[in-house]
A and B are shown apart, each in its own frame.
Chain A
């Protein structure tokens, strides 16, 4: 059975590219349009890895990570931030919130799948 990845981004084109790249690598993908939608879908489905943007309307990426880490079944699920933010302060905040890694946009599909494979096989 393929592993499932929750891709959270408010940009439709970004979600489409993420979905395309991850599905091509054999993963199942659930898309969410913002942090709140991501949190709802994380509660409804069994997810093996979360990829989230930071700047989104409503709930942002850091808030989503904190909310997920507060849930018992998401304490050890890898969470990656995929964002335009590249400052050390933001990365430190992401790390403190419980992110496992930081990817700066735009992503290269081969490098992305390499990282995902390293984390969840």
Chain B
């Protein structure tokens, strides 16, 4: 609360300081929540992909064994030509799906990189909100000089945060084609 017996200049100073502290506190709270959710999302995606990878490996192993058993049976007897061709076609189809699964299972890596980048930006934004915090300080002077000095100091801190953020964030993932990426040999 701003006292009524203050001068308008003192009230302005107090209002600005309150506003800065409020923005800092609430901004930080919301960003902290988003950051926690993103980290949890990354954990869940990681768990999902581990389980999918394990299942994929187990299925592939079983299919491989089945294929070997089938090859043994085919070697022992003389299968009708249409069956032999059918088995060969199935083998090709399985290999195609295995390749597609291997490509598909890599998208979590790219998603995880993007989440990491978002978390870095959120941390940077939290630093910016932290720089706005006046830590409950009250300006002693009734003129605007103290307020101007405080705002200038905050502005410098925000500038430093922005510079640090720009230098430390990893590059984005610009994947647009959802098939396998380009290959270039030098």
Chain A interface residues (CB < 8 Å from chain B): 9, 11-14, 16-17, 20-21, 55, 84-87, 90-91, 95, 99-111, 115, 118-119
Known: A14-B109, A106-B107. A55 touches B181 (CB 8 A): no
**Are A106 and B180 in contact (CB-based, < 8 A)?**
yes
Known: A12-B50, A55-B113, A86-B174. A109 touches B99 (CB 8 A): yes
Q: Which of B113-132 contact A (CB under 8 A)?
A: 113
Give chain B residues whose Cβ lies under 8 Å from the Cβ of A85: 171
CA distance A29 to B170 in the complex (A): 28
Known: A84-B173, A106-B107. A91 touches B99 (CB 8 A): no
Give chain B residues whose Cβ lies under 8 Å from the Cβ of A91: 184
B165-186 interface bits toward A, Cβ cutoff 8 Å, 1 = contact, 0 = none? 0000011011100011111111
Residue of B whose beta carbon sits closest to that of A95 = B186
Known: A13-B108, A86-B174. A109 touches B102 (CB 8 A): yes
Give chain A residues whose Cβ lies under 8 Å from the Cβ of B99: 108-110
The residue from B53, B60, B106 contacting A106, defined by CB atoms under 8 A apart:
B106
Give chain B residues whose Cβ lies under 8 Å from the Cβ of A107: 102-103, 106, 180-181
CA distance A115 to B185 in the complex (A): 9
**Are B181 and A105 in contact (CB-based, < 8 A)?**
yes
